[in-house]
Amino acid sequence: MTETHIIKETGNKGKGLYSTKKYGKGNIVLFLEGNYFSEPTRTSIQVGEKHIESWEGGHVNHHCVPNTKVVVEQGEFNLMHFLVAIKDIEIGQQITFDYETNETEMAEPFKCRCHGRWIRGKGQ
């Protein structure tokens, strides 16, 4: 766990990931590192054809108006994946991304609290 994020209770959605520093739009907020799976799990994040299970990434909640997005980039030796800020993020704000812009099919679809629509994945 890094010192730039903290996992804590959201009050209504279980745990979430919160920033403990400021990020400007375009900054890398979180590198996604962990084990890869061929099928999605409840806490995995889709990166290309695979799904990465990252401790901190697994705690990032969905938001329809999120403050980060998943970026996959070809590095020198392998693919790199991270969450990039799409707006300025203040200390103490929850870090979110829109699952429907990234996940083809959710392992566990859920009803979003902000509009009551089912979040199933972008391919659904």
Measured torsion, CA atoms of residues 15, 20, 26, 32, in degrees rounded to the nearest 10: -50
Task: For the CB of residue 108, give the shortest distance to Zn ion in the complex, in Å.
Answer: 16
Which of these segments, 4-12, 19-27, 34-42, 56-64, binds Zn ion (CB under 5 A)?
56-64
Task: For the CB of residue 27, give the shortest distance to Zn ion in the complex, in Å.
Answer: 24
Instruction: Tell me: does residue 84 bind Zn ion (CB under 5 A).
Output: no
Instruction: Tell me: does residue 112 bind Zn ion (CB under 5 A).
Output: yes
Which of these segments, 21-29, 68-76, 99-107, 108-116, binds Zn ion (CB under 5 A)?
108-116
Instruction: Tell me: does residue 114 bind Zn ion (CB under 5 A).
Output: yes
- Name the E strands within the chain: 5-9, 15-19, 28-31, 35-37, 45-47, 50-53, 61-62, 68-74, 79-85, 96-97, 110-111, 118-119
Residue number with CB closer to Zn ion (71 or 112): 112
Identify the helix (H) or strand (E) that includes residue 115. none
Instruction: Tell me: does residue 64 bind Zn ion (CB under 5 A).
Output: yes
Strand order in the sheet with 79-85: 28-31, 79-85, 68-74
Q: Cβ distance 33 to 78 under 8 Å?
A: no
Residue number with CB closer to Zn ion (17 or 119): 119
Binding footprint of Zn ion, residue count (CB under 5 A): 4
Residues that bind Zn ion (CB under 5 A): 64, 112, 114-115
